[in-house]
Amino acid sequence: MLVNILGSLALGFIIYENLLSGRISEASRTLMATGFIASFTTYSTFVIDALTTTPTVAIGYIIGSYALGFGAVLLGREAARWITAETAHSTEVSE
């Protein structure tokens, strides 16, 4: 579950960093999101983990994974916003 949450955090950061600042090219974003992060997090492991436990634990695992994953994307978005704002502030100060 931790790997999927970290992947969600990274994905949220990369997508929003691209949207907010444009410093990451579309090609680089696609490569990182569908190449590196997709291979880092795997759906098959998620399904196997859910299926190899009791139904009650599986339901909690699935709900927890989705909730923590969405939360991690939002945290990644906020990190991208913070870094973009800090970078813009540093640029304004140095000018």
Report how far residue 95's alpha carbon sits from residue 89's, in angstroms, rounded to the nearest whole number: 10
pTM here is: 0.76
Q: What's the one-letter identity of residue 79?
A: A
- What pLDDT sits at residue 42? 79
> For 37-76, what is each residue's pLDDT tens digit?
888 887 777 888 899 999 999 999 999 999 999 999 999 9
- What pLDDT sits at residue 45? 79
Residue 95 binned pLDDT confidence (cut-offs 50, 70, 90): low
Task: Name the nearest CA neighbour of 61 among 1, 3, 4.
Answer: 1
Angstrom distances, CA of residue 95 to CA of 20, 81, 85, 88, 90: 21, 21, 15, 11, 9
Of 71 and 84, more confident? 71
Residue 91 binned pLDDT confidence (cut-offs 50, 70, 90): low
Tokens found for residue 62: 């699935």
